[in-house]
Copies of this chain bind each other. A is one copy, B any other.
Amino acid sequence: MSNTFGKLFRVTVYGESHGASVGCVIDGCPSGLEIKKEDIQKELDRRKPGQSAVTTERKEEDKVKILSGIFEDKTLGTPISLLIWNKDADSSKYLKIIETPRPGHGDFVWKKKFGHADWRGGGRSSARETAARVAAGAVAKKLLKNSGIEIIAYSISIGNVEVDEIDRQKLMNKIANININKNFDMSDWKSTIESNPVRCISREKAKLMENEILDAKNNGDSLGGVIEVVAAGIPAGLGEPIFAKLSSDIAAALMSIPAVKGIEIGAGFELAKMRGSESNDEFIIAEGIVKTRINF
């Protein structure tokens, strides 16, 4: 088992789907960080099942409880323990897993490895465990924000519906600008993302994506998609050579999410088709600072 991630900010997660709870313990968060219960609850509310027709029908309240590490809305520098009680623990519809392992799920492997498969909704192999990650992520987000770093994520494709390249590019240009001007107003983008249940960067495509999902659902089927994650305000030199490069840690974290099967950094696989003269972004001096010609 390996339920701990991170070195300086280290998160340990626990909990089975349809067990008593899921939760996390964060070790290494500095003292004096202002954080309210609402800061964490807000992120859990964004994630919680049963919000719209396009998600699972399972209903969970996902109310966070702070067990330690935060006192009078400030971190103590001690481990932060966050707990979410499971509510919708009706396991009856999972009983058939005992006999027939679901394809694309961990049931079969789990049984082989641990000598049992937790038929209560997949148990630990259920993506319900990611609720604990979201709670920990809410604290990380607050900490990063304090260091001038902001991260947003949104869907760019679901099934066969894809956001236009130009819409993504507009956001990227905005981000490059943010890096130069130290001006972090991404509220436009955020309000678009929050306005639709598929968290898409384009309102029009969001509608099509919803339809795509409902169509699949009506046919007893499911769909995949692609998420884009953008970070602004990252200083040069974050991460550590050789094995803790930022890209390496990101890849490990993302690939540990059950549904993720591919990761690209920057232009990703597109780079394989470019010549060096196209893909490289030259260092220049502009307005007195060293920057790259295109990305920053």
Closest B residue, CB atoms, query A266: B261
Is the pair B221, A276 in contact by a Cβ cutoff of 8 Å? yes
Q: With A and B bound together, what is the CA distance between A114 and B108 in angstroms?
A: 34
Contacts of A236 in B (CB 8 A): 108-109, 112-113
Give chain B residues whose Cβ lies under 8 Å from the Cβ of A290: 101, 108
Return the CB mask of A241-253 against B: 1 if under 8 Å, else 0.
1111101111111
Distance between A87 CB and nearest chain B CB, rounded to angstroms: 14
Size class of the contact patch on chain A: 35 or more
Q: Which residues 204-257 in A have Cβ within 8 Å of B in the complex?
A: 216, 221-226, 235-237, 240-245, 247-256
Say whether A27 faces chain B, with CB atoms less than 8 Å apart: yes
Chain B binder among A9-17, A51-59, A173-181, A191-199: A9-17
Q: What is the distance, in angstroms, from A171's C-beta to the closest C-beta of chain B?
A: 20
Q: With A103-B282, A124-B241 as given contacts, are A261 and B268 in contact (CB-CB < 8 Å)?
A: yes
A10, A248, A254: residue with the most chain B Cβ atoms closer than 10 Å: A248
CB <8 Å contact, A76 and B222: no
CB of A226 to closest CB in B, whole Å: 5
Query: Which residues 67-113 in A have Cβ within 8 Å of B in the complex?
Result: 67-69, 71, 76-81, 83, 100-101, 103-104, 106, 108-109, 112-113
If A1-B79, A4-B27 are given as contacts, then 18 extra A-B residue pairs at C-beta distance below 8 Å, sorted by A number, are: A3-B79, A3-B241, A3-B242, A4-B12, A14-B78, A14-B81, A15-B68, A21-B81, A101-B283, A113-B237, A159-B275, A224-B274, A226-B269, A243-B252, A250-B255, A255-B265, A262-B268, A262-B269
Chain B positions within 8 Å of A281 at CB level: 103-104
Whether A25 sits at the interface, judged by CB under 8 Å, is yes
Contact A249 B252 (CB under 8 A): yes
The yes or no answer to A147 lying at the interface (CB within 8 A) is no
State whether the Cβ of A183 lies closer than 8 Å to any Cβ in chain B: no
Q: Decide yes or no whether A146 CB sits under 8 A from chain B.
A: no
Interface of A is mostly: mixed
Q: Which residues of B contact A165 (CB under 8 A)?
A: none
- Residues of A at the B interface (CB closer than 8 Å) are 1-5, 7, 10, 12-16, 19-23, 25, 27-29, 31-32, 66-69, 71, 76-81, 83, 100-101, 103-104, 106, 108-109, 112-116, 118, 120, 123-125, 129, 157, 159-160, 216, 221-226, 235-237, 240-245, 247-256, 261-269, 271-277, 279-283, 290, 292
Complex Cα distance A100/B290, Å?
11
Residue of B nearest to A32 (CB): B115
13 A-B pairs (CB sep. < 8 Å): A12-B25, A14-B68, A15-B68, A16-B71, A19-B67, A20-B67, A103-B292, A112-B236, A113-B237, A222-B276, A224-B274, A247-B256, A251-B255
